[in-house]
Amino acid sequence: MAFLQEKMLFRGLLIFCMALVVSSLKRPYTPPTVAHLTDYFPPVSIDKGFSNFFGGSNIRLLSNASMASLALDKSSGSGMVSKNRYYYGFFSAAIKLPSGLSPGVVVAFYLSNAETSPHNHDEIDIELLGHDKRNDWVLQTNIYANGSVSTGREEKFYFWFDPTEQHHQYSIIWNSHHIVFLVDNIPVREFPRNSGFSSVYPSKPMSIYATIWDGSEWATHGGKYPVNYKYAPFVVSFADMKLSGCILNPTEQVSSCSKAGVSSSDPVEGAEFVRLSEKQLEAMNWARRKLMFYSYCNDRSRFKVLPPECK
């Protein structure tokens, strides 16, 4: 009888713990109110702002090219690249992620110059990762500078909403002061520029990419949960694309927005872009406290000596 009671108690505790996990996955948080920086910039028609990068047969332009669907199937992923390269700016996309089981699927909206600087490239990443066995997605942000691919500066967050139900805005501010990652205008991460370690700050003109691809080898615990193509195609929708930055003249090289070769002055040098407001700082602290579950700055098993900006 005692054994039966203990067994029933154990089952009860297990069900309780599972309920806690499920309720935590729902995360019914109400985000703080902040300024909508996405309202400051006009959308770009996708056919005017982007070219096909790969998997062209899996790319469809919709609603007079105001929206694009990109698919991943067993034959290929797909991706678009901006027709211009930019030095600093505000870059944003409204993204609706594939629904259903999606472990190993990676949707990315990012800046990179790997095509033009293959040995010392810069990169600013928003990566949306199909996560484990659940119908769940994870936001990963990352920064590389001057080919620092062995370091990586990943931070990972859960969402406070279901990113598969409708479009949500994912944005990047990149200027001479800081890099800021935003979700629905809520800052989730700020990476300040610091003269003490300027080499880790992206500093060369970059293109903007929107992609979906198979990240099975690394996206879920080293390939523990690979893409299951039984559920393919995996289709992501991109809309409300905003590309507001200094456009690089391809015949010249530049080191700042004020020099020759750039089409205009830096559009993200105003007061609202140079530093985060008090409300934005409060919102970022909220997101990091409630939703961030990994930061490279806390990964002592990975770094015997933490990167300089972590100190």
What residues are labeled active site? 123, 127
* Contact indicator for 138, 160 with CB cutoff of 8 Å: no
| Closest of 107, 146, 155 to residue 288, by C-alpha | 155
To which residue do tokens 């920064």 refer?
Answer: 143
Residue 187 to residue 276: CA distance in whole angstroms: 9
Give the Å distances, CA to CA, from 53 to 70, 77, 80, 105, 236: 11, 10, 5, 18, 16
3-state secondary structure of 42: coil
Residue 73 to residue 247: CA distance in whole angstroms: 34
For 188, phi then psi, to 5°, come to: -110, -15
Residue 136 to residue 200: CA distance in whole angstroms: 32
Q: What is the DSSP letter of 189?
A: E
For 282, phi then psi, to 5°, come to: -60, -40
**Torsional class of 240: left (φ above 0), alpha (ψ -120 to 50), beta (otherwise):** left
Give the Å distances, CA to CA, from 187 to 37, 41, 171, 191: 11, 17, 9, 11
| Closest of 209, 172, 205 to residue 80, by C-alpha | 209
